[in-house]
Amino acid sequence: MKAKREALTSLFTAMREGKVDEDIIELLLLINSIKGVYTTSSCSGRIGIIEEPALGAKPLSRWLIKVHRPIEFEEALDALRNAREGLIFLKSQPPIFHIVAEDMENAKKLHEIGLASGFKYTTFKVISNRYLVEINATEYLTTPLGKDGKVLVDEAYLRFAIEVGNSMLKRSKGRLTRLEENFRKLREELGEDELFYELVRDFEIEKNWRIP
């Protein structure tokens, strides 16, 4: 499967360069070890403060801080001191996984796994003869904090917003254990992929990470 080889090469290269969220690496390895499926872009869930030049201008936005764990109040304050121009938002986003299946049958199984694991925004679609499943949750928070370098909320509200955002992040990350359990069951059903283990050896992935 040429597409899976390319995806795995990209993943393993990114892992070596420290560009993959550490807390989902083992889960990504597990998913990719399953015959007939592979991951593309994924995120373990994050919270941060972002500056956007205008509503919807995401390509030009700038993260003042972005972490994949609960954020500290003092971290947020320090980040806000660097705000310069545009709208300032606190954002909390749940884990998201993009997974390609080689056929419709496997895509349906991935879709069922996402929903059964509590990721209620899970969907799948066909793109260029590929079955792409997006495993996604509902815990999204976007709250405005200010504009053009000026924070327009008081510290009490900022603490409250951070508390809510952190709670949503923890809640969504809490489903990762169930998701992993369900993917282990899928691997028992579909079997292991020899291509995955071949590339694991080529990239010497076992030196730094536990292989499923």
Domains assigned to the chain: 36-190 (3.30.1960.10)
pLDDT at 130: 87
pLDDT at 100: 97
Q: What is the pLDDT of residues 15-40, one digit of tens each?
A: 999 999 999 999 999 999 999 999 99
Distances in whole angstroms, Cα of residue 95 to Cα of each of 18, 110, 168: 18, 16, 11
In 3D space, the residue among 187, 188, 208, 203 whose CA is nearest the CA of residue 30 turns out to be 187
pLDDT of 90 > 90? The answer is yes
Residue 9's pLDDT band, with cuts at 50, 70 and 90, is: very high
Q: What is the pLDDT of residues 39-85, one digit of tens each?
A: 999 999 999 999 998 887 677 899 999 999 999 999 999 999 999 99
Is the pTM value of this prediction over 0.95? no
pLDDT at 107: 96
pLDDT at 167: 98
Half-sphere exposure of 170 (CA within 13 A, CB side): 8
CB atoms within 10 A of CB 44: 22
pLDDT of 129 > 90? The answer is no
Q: What is the pLDDT of residues 183-206, one digit of tens each?
A: 999 999 999 999 999 999 999 999
pLDDT at 4: 96
